Amino acid sequence: MYGEVLSKAWKIIWKHKVLWIFGFLAGCGAGGGSQSFRSFYNFPGSSGTGNSGGNTPQMPYKLPPEIEAYIAQLTQSLVQVPAWFWLLLAAISCLVAILVVVLNTTGRAGLVLGTWAVEAGAQKLPFGQLFEESLGYFWRVFFLQLVIGLLAFAVGLVMALPLLFSVSTGGLSGLCFIPLCCIAFPIFWLLNVWNEQAVVAAVGENLGFSQSLSGSWLLVRKNLAPYLIMSLILGIGSLIVNFIAALPLFIILWPVISGMMFTSGAQALGSGLLFSGIAFLCYAPVLILINSIVKAYLGAAWTLTYRWITMPPKLTEEIVNPPQVITYSANK
């Protein structure tokens, strides 16, 4: 059945390319897959050398003098910027952050709503209608992601505590970091799958906040093996695609890297920056398109996984509480 889910997810997003737009929206503010968690291996004091002093690590190489002078001049210029500019910048940043959250949440809801509609027989997915109806699930999806995200943050904080205390204990408490990672990573995986299925339950079956949260948790807990297999397939697959898509970036950034490592002239480094910048701008639309397709595919696959587990054996069974978009789109 895994092959059926994976192949049907691809057929859906290929036929209904409007879901790529919602994949782009779902990718706003996200990294890689649906959720990503930063590692703490380079946290200050985590080297475990037993030196609790304030030794500053040495850079493996020094920047050219011209670049160091430019950075110093830029830093001095930033200090002289008036306070109102930073306040304005902070306000704009807050507005952008709010917009990103709205787009990301609406995109995730739209992927579930569109996939669910196609499975119920919809032949067309008008973007305007799908976007409008996705907004109706905004607060439900937002709070689901917020609650589970706070749980993930709490787990990450517990992981970081030994590293924080390692500064005062000479790195000894940092030894607890490895066993904590062994415990925390499965928890992160469980929270990620729970998040995915809670969103599907809220949008696809039109359940309330508490019903979506508790029902999806019970579903994941009783079907750990299928979810583990599916998450491994989707995780490894998206990792391979993203790695291949990122390979040209090494070529694009090579003029800058070689300029910093092998030359000392600011002119050569500036030329490398200019070439890499232009090349990156040309390749950025390709990266955005690939990421949008990957996000759309993951959203469709998780939606079909939910349907497969809750409504076996056929993925095309009629649902009990269809979203409104199904009725409209099926008649077009």
Interval 253-268: pLDDT, tens:
777 666 666 555 555 5
In the predicted structure, residue 327 carries a pLDDT above the cut 50: no
Give the pLDDT mean for 157-166.
71
Amino acid identity, residue 228? L
Q: What is the pLDDT of residue 319?
A: 42
State the pLDDT at residue 330.
39
- pLDDT, residue 331, reads 40
Range in 39-43, 107-111, 144-148, 225-229 the model is least confident about? 39-43
Tell me the HSE value of 155 on the side-chain side, using a 13 A CA sphere: 22
Please report the pLDDT score of residue 231 as a whole number. 92
Mean pLDDT of 289-304: 94
End-to-end CA distance of the chain: 31
C-alpha to C-alpha distance for 156 and 75, rounded to whole angstroms:
33
Residue (of 22, 13, 67, 42) closest to 267 by Cα position = 67
Mean pLDDT of 120-129: 88
Share of the chain above pLDDT 90, in %: 45
pLDDT average, residue stretch 118-123: 86
Task: Tell me: pLDDT of 81 over 50.
Answer: yes
Each domain of the chain, given as residue ranges in start order, spans 2-34+77-137+223-330
- Tokens of residue 169, six digits: 């204990």
Q: Which residues contact 152 (CB under 8 A, 6 or more apart)?
A: 35, 37, 188, 191, 192
Asked if pLDDT for residue 163 goes beyond 70, the answer is no
Statement: residue 320 has pLDDT above 70: no
> At 41, is the pLDDT very low, low, confident or very high (cuts 50, 70, 90)?
very low
Longest dimension (CA), the chain: 71
Nearest to 107 by CA among 199, 239, 193, 187: 199
pLDDT of residue 2: 84
**Which residue, 258, 284, 288, is CA-closest to 273?**
258
Least confident window among 153-167, 191-205, 278-292, 302-316: 153-167
**How much is the pLDDT for 268?**
55
Task: Say what the pLDDT of residue 55 is.
Answer: 46
State the pTM of this model. 0.75
How many residues in the chain? 332
How far is it, in rounded angstroms, from Cα 92 to Cα 98? 10
Give the integer Cα–Cα distance in Å for 128 and 226: 35
All residues at 6 or more sequence positions from 323 whose CB lies less than 8 Å from its CB, including other chains? 113, 116, 117, 133, 203, 204, 206
